[in-house]
């Protein structure tokens, strides 16, 4: 998965990568050439007292060093540019894919996990790309070149390389092999910490209201301790790597000096060649060590790449049609024996639901908690697809409609009103970026929100915090209703959107909505009977089934479930 991800995202940066390889090649060759020059200075300059040769070769060494430095700096620049661009592209791909998910896929992964995959996981793979461009390219060149140059200096000591390199590779490999499961577990622990933190921040009011701070602190502490314990376990293995490498490096140096000293004493080798051989052996082992650092990062990056790949390879269950229909005229909504079952569930959430909502009329949906009301609205808006039956708008199956056209024609006010970071105006223009201030004020007036927006310090330009946390629940609901009104869709879907309003405001809002939505199809999910008594038709749901259809007065006579709901809220005679 890691290779597939790198191949798919780095292809467009092939020129930069080729530049990195070329520059690293030149820089590494220059680095490998320096010990040979140093050996010549010792054997041909210092040993015979030739100052001119020392000076000439020294200047040449400075020139080679300058080339090596310039190539390394430019290579790191292009490597960093490639890595950062790679991270940007992967984050964009993830964001686009998650944006196409239906509620089903979002629930499958969970919001905290999706956030972690788009931040921490991408960062890990991005760091691998950066280190690959700066270290992984140079390491094999230096290793192979070092072996060749070392053999040129003295073949008799080559057996030391045959011993030192495999010992280093095997030692580091054994440590890394034990680290891979730890890295996988760490990412899951990070997900858990993010999930708990997100819950606590989002639900801070509930936590404080029920005085659950100690409990939540303990819950976060446990998750944090689990992550720390896992990280410490992986860290213990990581700290073994550097001492192991240094032990092998130092042992190899001692061996080269010991056996090389005997060869120098016997006349089979010169002092300069011994110095160069020792430098080349260190370069070889250092290149292996650089590769081991990469090997440390590869397991974790592989785990992260798998998690990123899971998201990128998951396709939305709400697929756009191959030949989309681009005509929605009036907004006639029909459900024909529609049903929905979550994957793996034993019982369907909705089954055999048929309804017809026509423009200019209001259709209300009521039922107990868990009856499937919100799921039904999700089918109408095609946030999820039916698993049985069909949903049609103007006689066309919603699965055959252009999704952008469909969603543009639908104004949804969700059960949990949500506002985005920005201003009142930017939130209201979410469905219609070209709306004028006059249109915004008109929508606010209909939604009974004009008074409190005018009372705000900056009116339409008043800042709104993430989620709308700086306004009350009722104000948030009214702003969301105004946002839907600004879009002027053919179909309005209100998912229990009046629950936070007092009865007087609710009544004024519904009265103001009637002329504004006279030609549109209106579907209202409600918990309060008083909200829907004047609806043109009321659908009563129970356990995912349709148990009653009709006007308020008809249902009082024909639907026991509706009567039970009414009686639980107020006397039947009062409503009648």
Is residue 563 within 8 Å of residue 533, measured between CB atoms? no
Tell me how many domains the chain contains. Answer: 2
* Residue 351 shares a structural domain with residue 291: no
Distance CA 206, CA 210 (A): 6
* Residue 46 shares a structural domain with residue 79: yes
Spell out the SS3 assignment of 449-474.
CHHHHHHCCCHHHCEECHHHCCCCHH
DSSP states of 372-400: SHHHHHHHHTTSS--SEEEEEETTEEGGG
Residue 341 lies in a domain: yes
- Measured from the Cβ of residue 544, the count of other Cβ atoms closer than 10 Å reads 22
What would the pLDDT profile of 97-131 be if each residue is shown by its tens digit? 888 887 778 878 888 788 888 888 899 899 888 88
* Cα separation values, 113 from 120, 195, 218, Å: 10, 8, 21
User: Which residues, in sequence order, are bridge partners of residue 141?
Assistant: none
Residue 320 lies in a domain: no
At 574, the pLDDT band (50, 70, 90 cuts) reads low
**Predicted pLDDT of residue 573:** 44
Write the CATH number for 207: 1.20.1560.10
Q: Is 207 helix (H, G, I), strand (E, B) or coil?
A: helix
**Predicted pLDDT of residue 89:** 92
- Averaged pLDDT for residues 405-426: 87
* Residue 292 shares a structural domain with residue 339: no
* Residue 276 shares a structural domain with residue 367: no
Q: Is the pLDDT of residue 575 over 60?
A: no
Looking at beta carbons, which pairs linking 250-257 to residues 24 or more positions away fall under 8 Å? Answer: 251/164, 252/160, 252/164, 252/281, 252/282, 252/285, 253/278, 253/281, 253/282, 255/160, 255/164, 256/157, 256/160, 256/281
What would the pLDDT profile of 478-488 be if each residue is shown by its tens digit? 999 999 999 88
Write the CATH number for 356: 3.40.50.300
What would the pLDDT profile of 312-327 be if each residue is shown by its tens digit? 988 887 777 777 777 6
Q: Is the pLDDT of residue 576 over 50?
A: no
* Residue 29 shares a structural domain with residue 139: yes
**Predicted pLDDT of residue 570:** 65
Residue 327 lies in a domain: no
* Residue 297 shares a structural domain with residue 355: no
User: Which residues, in sequence order, are bridge partners of residue 396?
Assistant: 393
Could you tell me what percent of the chain has a pLDDT over 70?
Answer: 98
* Residue 233 shares a structural domain with residue 308: yes
* Residue 266 shares a structural domain with residue 377: no
Q: Is the pLDDT of residue 572 over 50?
A: no
Q: Is the pLDDT of residue 346 over 70?
A: yes
Residue from 494, 500, 574 nearest 530 by CA? 574
Distance CA 205, CA 313 (A): 37
Cβ within 8 Å of residue 16, ≥6 positions away: 78, 81, 82
Residue 125 lies in a domain: yes
Residue from 431, 429, 478 nearest 450 by CA? 478
What domain range includes position 537?
333-575
Q: 305 — phi, psi (to 5°)?
A: -65, -35
319 or 226, greater pLDDT: 226
- Interhelix angle for 14-40 vs 138-153, to 10°? 20
What would the pLDDT profile of 143-193 be if each residue is shown by its tens digit? 888 888 888 777 777 788 788 888 887 888 788 778 778 877 887 888 788
Residue 317 lies in a domain: no
Q: Is the pLDDT of residue 305 over 80?
A: yes
**Predicted pLDDT of residue 207:** 83
* Residue 216 shares a structural domain with residue 347: no
* Residue 171 shares a structural domain with residue 47: yes
Of 283, 312, 341, the residue that ends a domain is: 312
At 70, the pLDDT band (50, 70, 90 cuts) reads very high
DSSP states of 519-565: TSEEEEE-S-GGGTTT-SEEEEEETTEEEEEE-HHHHHHH-HHHHHH
- Interhelix angle for 14-40 vs 271-312, to 10°? 160
What would the pLDDT profile of 328-340 be if each residue is shown by its tens digit? 567 788 889 899 8
Of 312, 344, 359, the residue that ends a domain is: 312
DSSP state of 485: H
Q: Is 571 helix (H, G, I), strand (E, B) or coil?
A: coil
User: Mean pLDDT highest for which of 102-106, 111-115, 281-285, 416-420?
Assistant: 416-420
- Averaged pLDDT for residues 469-482: 88
Q: Is the pLDDT of residue 4 over 70?
A: yes
Of 312, 347, 367, the residue that ends a domain is: 312
What would the pLDDT profile of 172-182 be if each residue is shown by its tens digit? 878 877 877 88
Q: 211 — phi, psi (to 5°)?
A: 50, 50
What would the pLDDT profile of 136-145 be if each residue is shown by its tens digit? 778 888 888 8
Residue 546 lies in a domain: yes
* Residue 243 shares a structural domain with residue 339: no
Residue 323 lies in a domain: no
- Averaged pLDDT for residues 197-216: 81
**Predicted pLDDT of residue 69:** 92
Structure tokens at 283: 């370069």
Residue from 488, 503, 428, 504 nearest 462 by CA? 428
At 530, the pLDDT band (50, 70, 90 cuts) reads confident
**Predicted pLDDT of residue 327:** 65
* Residue 291 shares a structural domain with residue 362: no
- Interhelix angle for 51-100 vs 271-312, to 10°? 10
Residue 87 lies in a domain: yes
């Amino acid at each position: 998965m890691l290779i597939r991800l790198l191949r798919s995202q780095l292809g467009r940066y092939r020129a930069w990568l080729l530049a990195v390889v070329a520059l690293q090649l030149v820089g590494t060759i220059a680095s490998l050439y320096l010990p040979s020059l140093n050996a010549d200075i010792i054997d041909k300059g210092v040993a015979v007292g030739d100052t001119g040769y020392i000076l000439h070769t020294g200047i040449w060494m400075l020139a080679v060093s300058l080339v090596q430095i310039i190539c390394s700096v430019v290579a790191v620049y292009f490597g960093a540019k490639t890595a950062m661009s790679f991270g940007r592209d992967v984050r964009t791909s993830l964001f686009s894919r998650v944006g196409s998910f239906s509620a089903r896929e979002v629930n499958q992964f969970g919001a905290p996990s999706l956030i972690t995959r788009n931040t921490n996981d991408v960062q890990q793979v991005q760091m691998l790309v950066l280190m690959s461009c700066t270290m992984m390219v140079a390491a094999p060149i230096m290793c192979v070149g070092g072996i060749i140059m070392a053999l040129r200096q003295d073949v008799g000591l080559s057996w030391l390389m045959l011993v030192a390199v495999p010992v280093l590779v095997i030692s580091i490999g054994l440590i890394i092999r034990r680290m891979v499961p730890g890295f996988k577990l760490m990412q899951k622990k990070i997900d858990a910490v993010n999930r708990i933190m997100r819950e606590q921040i989002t639900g801070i009011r509930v936590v404080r209201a029920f005085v659950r701070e100690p409990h939540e602190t303990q819950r976060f502490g446990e998750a944090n301790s689990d992550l720390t314990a896992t990280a410490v376990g992986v860290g213990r293995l990581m700290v073994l790597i550097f001492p192991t490498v240094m032990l092998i490096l130092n042992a190899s140096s001692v061996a080269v000096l010991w056996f090389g000293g005997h060869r120098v004493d016997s006349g089979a080798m010169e002092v300069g060649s011994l110095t160069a051989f020792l430098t080349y052996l260190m370069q070889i082992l250092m290149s292996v060590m650089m590769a081991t650092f990469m090997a440390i990062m590869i397991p974790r990056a592989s785990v992260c790449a798998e998690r990123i790949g899971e998201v990128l390879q998951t396709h939305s269950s709400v697929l756009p049609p191959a030949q989309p229909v681009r005509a929605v005229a009036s907004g006639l909504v029909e459900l024909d024996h529609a049903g929905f079952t979550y994957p793996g569930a034993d019982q369907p959430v909705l089954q055999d639901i048929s309804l017809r909502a026509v423009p200019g009329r209001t259709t209300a949906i009521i039922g107990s908690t868990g009856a499937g009301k919100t799921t039904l609205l999700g089918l109408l808006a095609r946030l999820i697809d039916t698993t049985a039956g069909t949903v049609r708008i103007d006689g066309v199956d919603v699965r055959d409609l252009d999704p952008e056209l469909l969603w543009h024609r639908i104004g949804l006010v969700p059960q949990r009103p949500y506002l985005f970071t920005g201003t009142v105006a930017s939130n209201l223009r979410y469905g219609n970026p070209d709306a004028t201030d006059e249109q915004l004020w008109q929508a606010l007036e209909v939604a009974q929100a004009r008074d409190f927006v005018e009372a705000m310090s900056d009116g339409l330009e008043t800042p709104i915090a993430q989620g709308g946390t700086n306004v009350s629940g009722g104000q948030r609901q009214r702003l969301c209703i105004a946002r839907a009104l600004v879009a002027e869709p053919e179909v309005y879907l209100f998912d229990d959107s009046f629950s936070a309003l007092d009865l007087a405001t609710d009544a004024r809002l519904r009265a103001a909505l009637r002329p504004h939505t006279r030609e549109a199809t209106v579907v209202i999910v409600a918990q309060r009977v008083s909200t829907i008594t004047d609806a043109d038709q009321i659908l009563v749901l129970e356990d995912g089934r349709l148990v009653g259809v009709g006007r308020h007065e008809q249902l009082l006579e024909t639907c026991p479930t509706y009567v039970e709901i009414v009686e639980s809220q107020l006397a039947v005679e009062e409503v009648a």
